[in-house]
Structures are given as C-alpha cells and as structure tokens.
C-alpha cells in the first residue's frame, strides 16, 4: 500500500477528523482512509442503500443495543410521530 501525507489541514478540520475518528473507534489515519475510500467508491454513482445505512449500522453495533431494543426505539418514534400528527 502506498503512503500518503496530507499537509496544511486547517486546524478545525483536523480536530473534527480526530473527534469523528474517536467516535467511530478508529485512529485519525484509519478514519481518513475510510473517508477517502468512501469518496472514491461512490464517485459518479448514487450510493446503495447498504452504503447509506452503513454508518447507522456501525453506530448501533457500537452502542450495544439489542435488536429488540432498537425495534422498541423505532416503535416509540412512530407512535410519537403519529401522536404529533393527530394533535394529541
């Protein structure tokens, strides 16, 4: 694999990269590589549903929620939305 060095990254962008990497459980270098690969793999085409959902699935997995707990969250969200739409 080739090495790549990126210079002159604005400080606020570097801090955001470090924070996002930490949130995803990756090093900044791993997260930057992920972003580059993601950007290049979707160039010129629309993302698949799996690609769109990948970050959400990763966060759910890292959260430790069970399938039943996740289903319960969605059920409550749908119920809350229905109540809001009905003015209750």
Give 53-70 pLDDT, tens digit per residue: 998 998 998 999 999 999
CA–CA distance, 60 with 67 (Å, rounded to integer): 9
> What band does 88 get if pLDDT is binned at 50, 70 and 90?
low
Q: What is the mean pLDDT of the chain?
A: 89
Q: Is 3 helix (H, G, I), strand (E, B) or coil?
A: coil
Q: Where are the beta strands (DSSP E) in the chain?
A: none
Q: Tell me the pLDDT tens digit for each residue of 6-58.
A: 899 999 999 999 999 999 999 999 999 989 888 887 666 777 889 889 989 98
Non-local CB neighbours of 65 within 8 Å, separated by 6+ positions: 73
Residue 77, pLDDT score: 95
């Amino acid at each position: 694999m080739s090495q790549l060095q990126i210079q002159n990254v604005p400080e606020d962008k570097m801090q955001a990269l470090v924070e996002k990497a930490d949130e995803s459980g990756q090093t900044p270098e791993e997260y930057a590589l992920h972003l580059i690969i993601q950007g290049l793999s979707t160039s010129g085409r629309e993302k698949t549903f799996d690609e769109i959902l990948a970050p959400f699935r990763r966060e759910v997995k890292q959260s430790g929620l069970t399938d039943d707990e996740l289903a319960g969250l969605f059920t409550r969200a749908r119920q809350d939305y229905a109540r809001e739409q009905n003015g209750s």
